[in-house]
Structure 1
Amino acid sequence: MLYQSNLLFGLLAEKVIMDKDKDTPLVMYMFVICMLLLCVGSSTDPIDTYCPTEFPLYSSNSTFDNNLKLLLGLLPSNTASKNGFYNTSVGDGQDKVYGQALCRGDITNSTVCKECIQKASQDLTKMCNSEDAIIWYELCQVRYSFQMFFTSMTYTGKYPNHNLKEKNISHTSGFDQVLAYLMNNLSQEAAFIPANNMFAAGEIQYSGSDGIKNKKLYGLVQCTRDISEGDCATCLSSALTELTQCCSFREGGIILSRTCNVRFESYRFFNQSSAKMLLFPTSKGGGKWKPWMFALTIVGSLLVLAVTILLCTACLLRKGDTGRDEERIERTLLQQLATSKSVAVTQEGDLISSDELLFMNLATIKDATDDFSDTNKLGQGGFGAVYKGVLPDGSEVAVKRLSKKSWQGIEELKNEVILIAKLQHKNLVRLLGCGLEGDEKFLIYEFMSNKSLDQFIFDPEKRSEFDWHTWYGIINGIARGLLYLHEESRLKIIHRDLKPNNVLLDHEMVAKISDFGMARIFFENQNTANTKRVVGTYGYMAPEYAMEGLFSVKSDVFSFGVMLLEIINGKRNSGFYTTELAPTLLAYAWQLWNEERKLEFVDPVLLESCMACEVVKCMHIGLLCVQEDPELRPNMSSVVVLLGSEQMALPKPSQPVFSLGRAFHVDQDPGPATTTNPSMNGGSTLSSVLPR
């Protein structure tokens, strides 16, 4: 609003001067001036600030404080003189401060840019004494940190209070497509046209289905210029997903991040000279939007329509209401799929190309699997069957043929395509391709010759084939794969169904986490979520998730702890009551731990090849992971450090939940569950959990 306020101020001031000799009442001039001052004054407030309390706080007049003052003093003039973007650092060692400033791309007046950076710098130090902070104004943003953040794309996804001020309205049919068309075009220009300095603004004229013509929508996108083109596109894609969620039913909206910002309004809020004019595609009849025409220009957006149709059809078959978090995450996943730049869809709805993922037609898959013959079948689970296949080039693959009519099959396809295709780690199974053709939905993975971990943990003969060194490598591999999902990937992923069946082993016994059909994305500042649709597997679900539907990274930590104890002992947690030693494996481990009989918990076969202190340390870590209070469980970064350390002191574990799985009614997973590659949710899967 600052640009509009200054423009309005100038026009009205000119009017006052021109009318000074006329009989305009003085009170009118005073009223106009007061209103203008209020308008301009309100626009000088920051849109939002981020002052995280988890980072260290600095003291007044400390070395860090003095370095910060020097740095903030350098930003205004340098940013204004260097075309609106500048970053630098001041100091050395632990007191070194990194800073960055960005002015909005349509601000060509260096004085306006400089004054905004000055104001932002002053306000940031008044509002925050954290060693890492950022402030956003309408025309600029300023960030500083104790850690080097240049060239690093970090998506924050903040919803400023500005959005709450926007009026809620009912848009005409097709508004979401118009908004996506505009913002996707602007994102492409900002990210991939160097002359634009990672900024683009534009307007689009379109006709609504209600017959009203010449509607206009205005949009703006921008990235900080230290990140790569690809990171800019990724950041804008994530931001546009959230913009649609928060504000597609409003007159306008804005999403802020450390490295990119997006905004749309029903009025022009930027310098018109910076704008690009777009025309939304329409049919010859003028007014009705055609998906196949839209696909000619933004092919990625058409994919969302195909998946939406599937979802809407599936929703008719679903019973009960999913939680708000489920709906929000579904929209997020759907929008991320829609903004994929390299996906094309034919008029018949077939997937045909992608830079990140290979799309295969049904005929190719049938040839590879001998028409899904039973001789090639690797396993069966609730979402479908898995078959071994051989592609024309001779490479072996595992093909998961998802259930034709199930909502879960659609959900799994959507999750796997979006998540695994974007995640690359040696401890995650590789998704090579997928297909969607009529009722057929299938996923193609790398073939894992040693199949799943459960075949080795619970088979005494196969366990004896490997020494403790191999098992310890598997434990570390699972831990590092989870750490990547929780903290190191571009997305924060909660797996929600971690179990030995979903850990695959390659020819070198390297562990790879698989089966992301139940996984959920968390936003950067999100720690927990709640769902009414509890999904998971008997014996591995955290108590807070099974009882209350609360899940977080600590839910996965609990599942990891159960698996770790199973690897050490060789028995399943869920069926341990048949041994009559204790109701669960966790209870047995806790009992022996407190009685100082720790080595009795270890499978005797492992004791022949392990160091006692190392296997006891792993038992200790396992008990820390399965504690009832999720706050007491370590995160996966701590687990990885503890596994690799020989001397770090471990905290004392508290009592785990003993009756987990026996106090709940369990709806069994439909269909027989046998070993799969990748696993097909072998074992009993919870589709609903009700306390007795």
Structure 2
Amino acid sequence: MVSLKFSIILLSLFSLAIITQAQDLTYLKYICPKNYAYYMPNSTYEANLNLILSSLSSNATRNNINGFYNVSAGQAPDVVYGMFLCRGDVSNSVCRNCVTFGTKDVLQRCQMEKAAVILYDECELRYSNRNFFSTVDQNFTLFMMQSPNNVTVEPDRFNQLVATTLNNISTRAASAASGAKKFAVQQANYTGDQKLYSLVQCTPDLSTSDCSRCLEGAISKLGDCCNRRQGGRVIFASCNFRYELYEFYNATAEVEAVPAPPPATPSPPPASGSKTSGKGKERTILKTVLGTSIPIVVLAFLTASCIIYFRRIRRKETDEEKNHRSFFQELRKSRGSTFAEGGYHLPRCAPSLLACAWQLWNEGNKAELIDPMLSDSCNAEEFSRYMHIGLLCVQEDASDRPTMSSVVLMLKSHNSFLPQPERPAFVGRFMDNLEATASNFSVNEMTLSDFDAR
């Protein structure tokens, strides 16, 4: 009986949390395109869709994605593409709440649909069985007016002011760096005591020219939707604008930077005669092991990917017997070179593999990390993507690192948007100490015996 009461209370609190979350959002519109097919219950497509929605919800909690994330899962004909875009001035918590609620709400509104779009004032969420990444999509247009009233003071000048302001900030939004928010706001003087507030935004995966083209198309609809209106908006799938005679956005959000994680507070020294907690020791050891091993594992995976690619090309060129013999010859050379020369040779940059990868990434010289023996056969674009994923996995702030399910999707899909990585853990803090003491390091001389079967 007690257990039943507890379950009812827990369920009530959970329901209340969902209702509260929904009340914080401003629902606008949902679209279930009728020219798309339906999926069947318990089908592969439904499984991929659930995976996509789960990934969107989990990645909405990250701090370094600029309110945008896209991902795909599965293979044709069951592939699913998903995306969310949060309004550029909302906080991370509002973005997270909007996306989390939207992933549940959209399934209720577009049941068994292979494509859907749901719009809130705070975010947009979308999925489809057709690839819409990095493309200008004007397949649906939504006109909205917050106020049905017309302006009465110089209406023609007001129309011109709206168009000019939107065009100006469209240029600013479109010219944002790759992966950054393509978002801009501006206020302009309409009358002595009346100001015009405007906002534009594109999905960050659009190029500068595509973002400009999308916003130009949206602004061209001003005459159809908002002639002389005190406020209005046009929403395309890939971009949108809005203007009002009141401040409807957070004016400071555009220049706010994501705060850096607080510095670690050193633990107080143990009291005299006190015993150190075994649990604390285990936690310290675990942090050290993870911090040391994860970068090595991730970057070893990058090198292994190129080796696999090299073997695949070799297999196509020779017959089965020759390839079998060549494989073991290359493996023996690789082992001998790796151990006899002290392991993988770092490029000219840094004293550790992770630090070197981070430095080359920032310099734009990612290809220098590829082993020279594999440089001719390793796909540079594919290697760059794997390096990008690897650096995302070793960011200093654990909350910025992708989840394992997200990493799997990133590796499977070459179309998903990847945010810019932040500085890895253990890089940049004590590099000077390493350089200062490098001369004191000893060389571990060893021999390697290579055993062959008789």
Q: Could you tell me the TM-score, scaled by structure 1's length?
A: 0.32
Relative CO higher for 1 or 2, CA cutoff 8 Å, sep ≥ 6?
2
**Bigger Cα Rg:** 1
Q: Could you tell me the TM-score, scaled by structure 2's length?
A: 0.48
Which has a greater percent of helix? 2
Which has a greater percent of strand? 1
